[in-house]
Structure 1
């Protein structure tokens, strides 16, 4: 069973992976464009924080953990997707 901290960490890491895919000029433009489109609708770390705090009130249905309870910072090269992340449309 996936724990809330593992689920939270995975969401943060995937956001960072989308950033890396979108900015990697060695990948096909179509793939990079898809990553940008997905990232624009993917939860940021701010969204995850708000969702985790809202779920605290319903402790029996907690799906996410607060970011400080995860190892999300240990994402390696994958920077977290934040409100300040700007991804432009990829060019060839």
Structure 2
């Protein structure tokens, strides 16, 4: 089972990966264009962490939050 901090870290790392793809001139233009298109609506890390904070603060939840408000990016 995936933990909230793992989901949060993965979302942040995915954005970083898409940024790398969008800027890599060794890749085909079609791949770079697709990465840029995906990034247009992909949340920034501060938005993901804010969503984690809000998720953790919800009091009507009986289960763990979906996201976490902090992550260790070294994993």
- TM-score, normalised to structure 2's length? 0.86
Counterpart in the other structure of 2:67: 64
Aligned length: 72
Root-mean-square deviation over aligned CA pairs: 1.5
Q: Structure 1 regions of 5+ residues with no counterpart? A: 76-92
User: Could you list the runs of 4 or more consecutive aligned residues of structure 1 that deviate by over 3 angstroms after TM superposition?
Assistant: none
Residues 12-27 of structure 1 mapped to structure 2, 5 A cutoff: 12-27=12-27
More off after superposition, 6-15 vs 55-64: 55-64
Q: Cα deviations across residues 51-87 of structure 1 (Å, max 9, x unaligned)?
A: 01111122535111112xx222x38xxxxxxxxxxxx
Task: Please give the residue correspondences for 1:46-85 in structure 2 after superposition, counting only pairs within 5 Å.
Answer: 46-58=46-58, 59=61, 60-67=63-70, 70-72=71-73, 74=74
1:21–1:35 Cα contact (<8 Å) kept: yes
Q: Give the Cα–Cα distance (whole angstroms) in 2 for the partners of residues 38 and 45 of structure 1.
A: 15
